[in-house]
Chain A
Amino acid sequence: MPDLDKALADIVEIKSRLAQSSEFLGLGPAALATSGVLAFAVAALQSVLPGAAEPMAYFTGWVLTAIVAVALIGAEMLRRAQRHHAGLADQMIREAVLNFVPAGVTGAALLAFFARFAAGQLWLIPGLWLILVALGIFAAARSLPRAIALAGAWYLLSGFTVLLLAAGDHALSPWHMGIPFAIGQLLVAAIVHRASESANVR
């Protein structure tokens, strides 16, 4: 039934346009804040564990932390989007995820590339990851509270600062990840919490 399929596609297209022009309320402050605390805890742990600054241990720790953080934020996003966006939940989640996918894939590809072909330059990765997070936030800014641009600016500034700090000795410091992510995630959590309060959303 091509006519019916076309009609369905048109309806889905209109819903996508509604989703693109609506503020996304799926991000939960609790999960965001937890991910910030987690980043700080991992940095503290790595700074006292012997051998944690070795590239393999360092990046394994941070990749696992990222997976846990994404799982926490994703689970809360699914719950909140179903509650606050009802009929638009699927479209809103899709839009939100698509905004961050390029940054996430690029971050993973950069790590794989440097690990395989330029192991001596792995010190660049923390700074580049922070810059990619900033780009992901700026890409999603249109559907998030306006103040989220502050968090994007924080990650961008942190990224370049970390590159500058690591440029001297080319060392991998846990705090180059822990501090920017802890402050950045807590900032995003505060912005989202404030926006939810003004929209009277829990």
Chain B
Amino acid sequence: MSAEPDAPFAYDGLDRVIHEKARLGILTSLAGRPDGLAFNDLLRLCGLTQGNLSRHLTVLQEAELVTIHKGYIGNRPLTEIRLTAAGRQRFLDYLSVLERVVRDASARAEQVGPGKAQPA
């Protein structure tokens, strides 16, 4: 988790599986739901197409960050997605590194000052 002393901005803890816009949205949606979310709810919350959501869920499932349970309510099929305990911990670790990134950026911006920003 901690960066190398000579590379303080390496941020090795930014997990590449999580560090993708759609997957970040999926994990954030699942963060406050210990009982999981239905596939259709995730579609609505993340604004993804069915194909895209399925593809990203497969990546997250292979990384053991989520579990996918396919069942039925009455005669209707229901796919439920939950964060695993390991997924919860890895997402938390990711958030902690992301928080450090933003704090570092904020500190650097304050050092430079608003009128001293270098043009890109």
Contact = CB atoms under 8 A, between A and B. Distances in A.
Interface residues on A, range: 10 to 19
A4 B31 contact: no
Interface string B83-120: 00000100111011011001101100110000000000
B96 A87 contact: yes
Interface string A1-29: 10011011001101101101110000000
Interface in A56-92: 86-88
A18 B32 contact: yes
Contact of B106 (A8, A15, A20, A22): A8
B91 A87 contact: no
A87 B106 contact: no
Given A20-B32, A21-B33, A4 B102 contact: yes
A7 B42 CA distance: 22
B102 A14 contact: no
A88 B92 CA distance: 8
Contact of B88 (A5, A7, A11, A18): A18
Interface of B: 28, 31-34, 88, 91-93, 95-96, 98-99, 102-103, 105-106, 109-110
